[in-house]
A and B are shown apart, each in its own frame.
Chain A
Amino acid sequence: MSILVDKKTRVVIQGFTGREGTFHASQMIAYGTHVVGGVTPGKGGQTHLGMPVFNTVEDAVKDVGADTSIIFVPAQFAADAIVEAALAGIGLIICISEGIPVLDMLKVRNFIRTTASRLIGPNCPGIISPGKCKVGIMPSRIHHQGHVGIISRSGTLTYLAVNQITSQGLGQSTCIGIGGDPIIGTTFVDALQMFKHDRQTKAVVMIGEIGGSLEEQAAEYIGKEYAKPVLAFIAGQTAPPGRRMGHAGAIIAGGKGTAFEKMEILRKNGVCVVENPAEIGPITKKMLA
């Protein structure tokens, strides 16, 4: 099964002809993702990487039946790109762009709620269901099809976790990078809910970090109703308060959102918390045994 993306997913690339869009689109095509075209306003009618270019997402939906979009446009245009995708009826919008102003995201997030679209990110590596479909920027060769679902706020740290799980002889059902910004479209709880109903997923690894309360919400949700084993790592145990640790969302503000608090509440709700990320692989293997 896997969640969100599979062999039937029809992907349109927003910001197709730019440097990032071009590079990652070709990587996705090489992986076997069903890319149906791209959007670059003003370049509609051209062909890029052997695919049609459209002026608008609406055209891409109409002409080639795109149902999923991935956004590579610069941050100052990204909020607009998300709104455009949702208005065009795209069901799954994945925003890779980093650095969107938070007030723009507040509007977008509250707008998206009124539509049928799901937003992943922004500031995220995207999604991959190994062996089926990659809509993201992750290095595909470390992934292997299997039974572990991964949800993460960080890119490279996800790759570390994936690599460990793969090197234990296990694999992943779907890996979702939910993003490192303070306001994001899909939360840990949303992703956990989807994994709950996915038969391919036998265990879930969640990689959180300091700041906000998404991990706390996930802990409470897992405590109430979750039959699948969950392992968690929280990055930023040594982060000083009041400093933004790279990701706009990774900040301990007003004494809230510390790694310690998050680990405590996750443990209390039956989650297996590891303090050393090198243990993610071996312990996941034990959980599945």
Chain B
Amino acid sequence: MKIHEYQAKVLFRNYQVPVPNGDMASTAPQALEVAEKVGYPCVIKAQVHAGGRGKAGGIKLARHRSDAEKYIGEVLGMTLITRQTGPQGKLVRKLLIEQGLNISRELYLAIIIDREKELPVIVASAQGGMEIEEVARENPQAIHKQHVHPVTGLSDCHIRNLAFKLGLNKIQRKNFTQLLRNLYKLFIDSDMSLVEINPLIVTAADEVMALDAKINFDDNALFRHPDIAAWRDLDEEEPLEVEASKYELNYIRLDGQIGCMVNGAGLAMATMDIIKYYGGEPANFLDVGGGTSAERVKEAFKILLADQKVRAVLVNIFGGIVRTDLVANGIVLALTGMAVKIPIIIRLVGTNEKEGLRILRDSQLDFIIESELTDAVRRAVELAKGD
């Protein structure tokens, strides 16, 4: 789960990770009030779940009140299109207004999970402000890493190693040590999978502060953080994905024309791959899961058909644990009484397959049933293209 920058900074403040003075506002008068309180210059920042806000015009520096009025009006309510939002962009519903600071250096600091080493790793670089992938590509020796073993936890040596490599002076090292200790504790305490501060700034007064904050939480651990889970912002998510999550369906919307319903994440991905292999484009990833019931299949179908781009639906079920007769029942239940105008191609193999296929045939509904996956996919691709 992702959260907004202003929410991340609330967590930072709670853990004494220094951040600039500021506050969130969702209306223009509120925003101006905050600006007046923090003083000028101040920075007006669009709050959306996407990077690249600065280049897209979502971050503005206001030197005085009239600047602030102008920029608040511009940014609040704009549709921000960044490299991460897609062409449709994201509506800016909230702003973060913060004091402008006298920056002497911009650094980079992150904590992530290193899957290969199976340890959390702290990543730091003196080249803040840039994208870390770019630094990694062009100047890999500028990236410094410290892996933290669960037995030792974060130790002072980890911090020292980074502080010296970043070229911090004595006062800055002291401030950096405090910040990193608190940040690491926050990372572990709240089950983050990523925290990235870019830039981490050193001010002219040698303070070290998080100017930006990007946090991802481990979805599997949200059950022990109800306060964080409550921060989920449904406005930032694709509406069909929100709908799917209500039924615990694993659904991701894509740009193609062939709606897919598959059991199992691996098979769902592979089905998308085969569609592409035969020249089609999948409209979504959808794993109906292992404990598939008729009710869930029904909801899944509703979501697929609600996507206006979808020109054909491909159902690919390999019944191992899942009984295909239950899936067939769900399909019939979903489509009875629904005026479906697009072709539905079904491949149903595995446990109780004969019964499943009989249910589909007896329903008098208009399905195309294929027994080979390749044939099913080719048919779907063909039908999604032709008019």
Contacts and interface: CB of A to CB of B under 8 A. Distances in A.
B150 interface: yes
Interface of A: 75-76, 99-104, 106-107, 109-110, 137-139, 142, 152-160, 163, 180, 182-183, 207, 209-213, 217, 233, 235-240, 242-250, 254-255, 259, 275-278
Interface in B124-143: 132-133, 136
A109 B116 contact: no
A138 B318 CA distance: 11
A278 B221 CA distance: 37
A155 B320 contact: yes
Given A243-B252, A248-B219, A107 B266 contact: no
B113 A278 contact: no
Contacts of B113: 102, 106, 182-183
Contacts of B262: 156
A180 B278 CA distance: 27
B287 A278 contact: no
Contacts of B218: 101-103
A277 B149 contact: no
B171 interface: no
B191 A103 contact: yes
A209 B287 CA distance: 15
Interface in B193-226: 193, 218-221, 223-224
B277 A275 contact: yes
B155 to A, nearest CB: 16
Given A101-B220, A139-B350, A254-B132, A278 B373 contact: yes
B120 A156 contact: no
Given A103-B218, A156-B320, A238-B272, A278 B116 contact: no
A211 B191 CA distance: 20
Contact of B220 (A100, A209, A259): A100
Nearest to A275: B277
Given A154-B267, A243-B252, A247-B265, A183 B221 contact: no
Contacts of B151: 110
A109 to B, nearest CB: 5
Interface in B266-319: 266-270, 272-277, 282, 285, 287, 290, 318-319
B119 interface: yes
A155 B320 CA distance: 9
B250 interface: yes
B230 interface: no
B82 interface: no
Interface of B: 84, 113, 115-116, 118-120, 132-133, 136, 149-151, 188, 191, 193, 218-221, 223-224, 250, 252, 254, 262-270, 272-277, 282, 285, 287, 290, 318-321, 349-351, 372-374
Nearest to B251: A246
Contact of A160 (B193, B220, B267, B287): B267
B285 A110 contact: no
A159 B265 contact: no
B264 A156 contact: yes
8 contacts: A106-B118, A154-B265, A156-B264, A212-B115, A233-B270, A247-B266, A250-B269, A278-B374
A259 B250 CA distance: 20
Residue from B223, B270, B285 with most neighbouring chain A CB atoms (10 Å): B270
A250 B250 CA distance: 13
A207 B267 CA distance: 11
Given A157-B270, A238-B276, A102 B221 contact: yes
Contacts of A152: 266
A286 B84 CA distance: 44
Residue from B116, B133, B267 with most neighbouring chain A CB atoms (10 Å): B267
Contacts of A247: 265-266
Contacts of A246: 250, 264-266, 268-269, 285, 287
Contacts of A240: 252, 254
Given A159-B318, A237-B273, A245-B252, A106 B267 contact: no
Given A76-B224, A101-B221, 6 more contacts: A139-B319, A156-B266, A159-B320, A180-B265, A182-B113, A277-B274
